[in-house]
Structure formats: C-alpha cells, structure tokens
Amino acid sequence: MGKITVETCEIEGLKIITPSVFGDERGYFMETYNYNDFKEAGIDQVFVQDNQSASKKGVLRGLHFQINFPQDKLVRVVNGEVFDVAVDLREDSKTYGQWYGVTLSAQNKKQFFIPKGFAHGFLVLSDYAEFCYKCTDFYHPNDEGGLSYKDEEIGVKWPIPEGMELTISQKDTQWKSFADYKAGKKA
C-alpha cells in the first residue's frame, strides 16, 4: 500500500482518498485508481462506468441518487474546485438524513468515495471545473431520484460566496424535500 491515504468521515462508509503524487520539474504522476490499493483500504468495488462533466462557477448539481439501481461512486476533480456533498439515505443508519461535505480540487487531488445509499451533489467554486466519477452500476435514466439542494431538514451548508449566482437545472429545482422522500418510502 502507501500509494493512497484513506480518511474515514463522521458518516460511516464515506471516505476521502488522497493519492501519492510524484512530482519533479517536468510535472507530476499519480495513480488515480488501483483496485488492489483500494481493496486493501476497504473499498472493494467493481466500477463499470466512468463519467465526466464540465461546469462553470456557481453550477450546483444534485442532490441525486438512483432508486432501484444504486451506485457506489468514486469522485474527483481534474480541473478547478468543487464542494462535494453526500447525504445519508440509509434508513438503518444512525446518521440517516445527515450530510457530509468536502472540497475537491485539481490542486488537492482528493477523491471522495460515496457508497450506495447516499444522495450526491456538488457546487462549483472555481471559474470552471471538470468533475470525474466512477460508478459501480450503469446509469438508468428512468431510475433517477433526488432531494432539494436547499432542504432545511438536511441543512447542507453550501459555501456560496456573496454575489455568486447559482445555476441549477430545471430538474434539480423540482426535487422534493427530505420529508416528502421519507413519506414516499413509507407509502
């Protein structure tokens, strides 16, 4: 091991991964993913799809999840900076409904592992950001779920600087509250 450092978070299952970066006058090299290192660190998933998005400052995406085909995700930023958030939707968890956020950037090279059972979203803090994520299941367009990014019960403290205008997709403005989500689970 030694190629990655893994930090656990207050919410069980979430992990922050920092790779070893080898640099010299030419630039740097790092392994962004090595199955053996991740397995040794307790992240023993098989990723089947890689995604990448580009967004401008103030774009807020989320909070998303797959309903019947949940995904583990390993996310990172290759250009720019985002504030990345995971919300615990595991009903049997002692942190059900709680959130955790971490700043991911091209500079800090951190990755965030989000297991199945979480909603996920991010806010772009830099002028431009490219966001990459590995998933353990394929995307199913008819299986999308989401929560309002501004749900008061969850209470995500998005680091929105004064004067920042948010850009949010029409779909993301329509997601319901956490209370509605819980009521729907009981129905």
Active-site residues, by number, are: 64, 133
Question: What is d(CA 54, CA 116) in angstroms, rounded to the nearest whole number?
Answer: 24
1, 40 Cβ separation under 8 angstroms: yes
What are the strands, taking DSSP E only, across 27-127? 27-29, 49-56, 60-66, 73-79, 81-88, 99-105, 111-114, 118-124
* Amino acid residing at 93: S
Rounded to whole angstroms, how far apart are CA atoms 14 and 115?
7
Cβ atoms of residues 19 and 3 within 8 Å: yes
Q: Which residues pair with 49 in a beta bridge?
A: 135
For residues 22 and 109, the answer to whether their CB atoms sit within 8 Å is no
In whole angstroms, what is the distance from residue 89 CA to residue 103 CA?
Answer: 21
